[in-house]
Amino acid sequence: MFSKRVWLVVSMLLILALLLSACAKTGPAAGEKFTFGMLLIGPANDMGWSQAHYDGGLYVQEKLPGTEMIYLENVFQGPGGQVQTGAELATDMATNKGAKLVIFNSDDMKDNAIKFAQEHPDIYVIHASGDTAWKEGKNYIDLPNLKNIMGEMEYGKMIAGCAAALTTQTGKIGFLGPLINEETRRFAASAYLGAKYCWTEYLGKDPADLEFKVTWIGFWFNIPGTTLDPTQVADDFYNTGYDVVISSIDTTEALTEAKKFTADGKQVWAIPYDYAKACEGADDVCLGVEYFNWGPAYLAAIKSIQDGTWKSSFDLNGPDWSDINNPDTSAVGFNKGGALSEENSALIDKFIGELGSGLNLWTGPINLQDGTQYLADGVAATKQEIWYLPQLLEGMEGQSE
C-alpha cells in the first residue's frame, strides 16, 4: 500500500517534469530583442563594484532600445551565495532566457567564464577584469567569443591615494584590501604611488614619514566566518592612528565606520571605491570615490555584436582626461566627497591635470617590498609590469601574497 503511494507520487512528478519541459520555450523570443545576462559577484545595490556593473547594464538598456538585461546576484559559493556555479548560471541564461551575451563581473569567475565560453562558442562572453583575451598577457587563451574589459583604475587609485595623503593628520594611511592577487596588488601599489607623490611634491614632506598599511580581508566583501570582518579592520585602523582609510573592497564598511568615529568626536576619513555615488550620505567623512563607468564599454561591445564587428579583445579603458567624469566617454572617474577641503580639492584637480598631461608614477626607481629593484631609474613600467605586479612596493606595509 505504501509503495503504491510512493510510485504514484514519483510518476506524477515525472509526468509534470515531462509536460513542463515539453511546453518550454527554447531560444530567444520573437522580435529584435537582444538579451544580455550579467552575473554579479555581490548584490546589485552594494554601493560598490556590483552596482557599478548593474548601472552599466541600465545604461545600455537606455541607450540601445531593444536590449534587455537579466542579472543574478551573489554569484559565488558560500554562505549567502549560489548553489549553482557561474558556468551553470550562465548556461541557464543562455539556454533558457535567450541571452546572447553573458557578462561575468568578477576576477573570481575567471575559470567559470572560460569554461562557459569554451562550451558555448555561439554565446558571447565578457569577463570584466580578466586577462584571458590578452595576447601579450601571461594567460592568453584563444577564444573568439570572449572579451576582457577593465577600467584603468591605477589612475583612480592614484587620485585616491593623493587625496588620502593630502588629508591625513597623522601621516598614516590604511588600505582596506580584498583578497591578494595581481589586480589588488597593483591597485594598492598605485594608491601608494599617488599618496607618496602628493605627500612629497605638494606637501613637501619626507616620504619616510608616510605610513601606508595594507590589510586584506580575504575576499571582495565580508563573508562572516570566512573572511576578516571589514568593519573590524576599519575600526582597528582608526583606533591605531590611521585617520584615512582607502577602501578597495566591494562594499562601504570603511565609510560607515568613519562616520561612527567622527560622530563620536574623532575626525577620521574614508575613501570608498567602485561606485560613482558611493559618497552619498557620508559628506562629513568621504574624501571622494574613484569609480568605474562600465556603461560605454558594454554598449560598444553589444553594438559590435549586433553589427557583426565583434572581436575578441583585451580592453583596458582609461579615463577621458578632458573630463574624467564624463558618463559617455570616461571608463574611470573620481567624484570628490564633501569632506575634501577646498584647498585639497584644488590640489586634486592639479594632480588630475598632471596625470592627464603625461605624468607617469609607474616610473623608476621603484623597488619591490622585499627591496629588489623592479624599475630602474627613469624606466617606465610596461603594461605587463603593472598588471602582473608580483609584490607590494617598498615603503608599503602588509602582506604581498
Partner 1 sequence: MTVQEKSPQTTSLRSRINWLDLGLRVGAVIMALLITSLILLVANAQPLKAYWNIVLGAFSSTQKVSAVIASWVPLVLTTSGLLFTFTAGLWNIGMEGQVVVGSVFCVGAFRFLDQTGLDPWIVITIAFLAGALGGFLWAILPGVMRIYGGVNEIFGGLGLNFVAKALAIWLIFGPWKRPGVASMSGTEWIDPQFRLTYLPGTSLSPVIVVIALIGAIFVALMLKGTHFGLRLKAIGKNDRAAHLLGIPTTRYFLLAFGICGIFAGVAGSILVTSKQFSLIPDAGFGYGFLGLLVAMLVNYHPILSSIVAFFFAALSVGNVELQYMGLNSYLAGVLQGFLVLFVVMTNGVRQRLYKKG
Q: Does 243 bind partner 1 (CB under 8 A)?
A: no
Q: How many residues bind partner 1 (CB under 8 A)?
A: 52
User: Which CB, 144 or 218, lies closer to partner 1?
Assistant: 218
Residues 83-112 that bind partner 1 (CB under 8 A): 83-85, 87-89, 91-92, 95-97, 108, 111
In sequence order, what are the beta bridge partners of 174? 213, 245
Q: Which of 11, 29, 78, 327 binds partner 1 (CB under 8 A)?
A: 78
Which positions from 250 through 309 interact with partner 1, judged by CB under 8 A?
none
Please state, in angstroms and rounded to a whole number, the distance separating the CA atoms of residues 80 and 253.
18
Per-residue exposure over 287-326, b if at least 16 CB sit within 10 Å of its own CB, e if not: bbbbbbbbbbbbbebbbebeeeebebebbbbbbbeeebbe
Closest distance to partner 1 from the beta carbon of 293 (Å): 24
Residue nearer to partner 1 on the CB measure, 181 or 306: 181
- Of 96, 113, 86, nearest to 35 by C-alpha is 96
368 contacts 378 by C-beta, under 8 angstroms: no
Q: Does 342 bind partner 1 (CB under 8 A)?
A: no
Of 72 and 375, the one with the shorter C-beta distance to partner 1 is 72
Nearer to partner 1, 110 or 259 (CB): 110
Residues 6+ apart with CB under 8 A from 214: 175, 177, 188, 392, 396, 397, 398, 399
Strands 332-336 and 288-292: antiparallel
Place of cell 575567471: 110
In the complex, least distance from residue 72 CB atom to partner 1, rounded to whole angstroms: 5
46 is a site residue for partner 1 (CB under 8 A): no
User: CA-CA distances (angstroms) from residue 3 to 10, 13, 14, 16?
Assistant: 10, 15, 16, 20
- What single string gives the DSSP state of each residue in 360-391? -SSBSSEEBTTS-EEE-TTPBPPHHHHHT--S
What is the chain's Cα-based Rg?
23
Q: Which one of residues 34, 54, 59, 76 is an interface residue with partner 1 (CB under 8 A)?
A: 76
30 vs 83, which CB is nearer to partner 1?
83
Nearest approach in angstroms of CB 9 to partner 1 is: 6
Task: Report d(CA 100, CA 126) in Å as an integer.
Answer: 11
Told to check if 141 binds partner 1 by CB under 8 A, we report no
Shortest distance, CB of residue 31 to partner 1, whole angstroms?
A: 19
Query: Looking at beta carbons only, is 5 or 311 nearer to partner 1?
Result: 5
Peptide bond into 296 cis (omega under 30): no
Total Cβ atoms within 10 A of residue 33 = 13
Q: How far apart are CA 100 and CA 15, in angstroms?
A: 31
| CB nearer partner 1, residue 199 or residue 216 | 216
Q: Is 24 in the site for partner 1 (CB under 8 A)?
A: yes
- Pairing assessment for the beta strands 211-216 and 396-397 based on DSSP bridges: parallel
Residue selected from 48, 50, 59, 73 as contacting partner 1 according to rule CB under 8 A: 73
Does 229 sit near partner 1 (CB under 8 A)?
A: no
Please say which residue, 143 or 203, places its beta carbon nearer to partner 1.
143
How near is the Cβ of 398 to partner 1 at its closest, in Å? 11
Q: What is the CA angle 195-196-200, rounded to 5? A: 120
Tell which one of 4, 20, 224, 357 touches partner 1 (CB under 8 A). 20
| DSSP state, residue 188 | H
The stretch near partner 1 (CB under 8 A) out of 75-83, 144-152, 161-169, 283-291 is 75-83
The answer to whether residue 225 forms part of the interface with partner 1 (CB under 8 A) is: yes
The smaller minimum CB distance to partner 1, of residues 69 and 301, is found at: 69
By C-beta, is 75 or 193 nearer to partner 1?
Answer: 75
Kindly identify the residues of this chain, within the stretch 164-193, that bind partner 1 according to CB under 8 A. 178-182
Beta bridge mates, 354: none
Residues that bind partner 1 (CB under 8 A): 1, 3, 6, 9-10, 13, 16-17, 20-21, 24-26, 70, 72-74, 76-85, 87-89, 91-92, 95-97, 108, 111, 178-182, 216, 218-219, 223, 225-227, 390, 399, 401
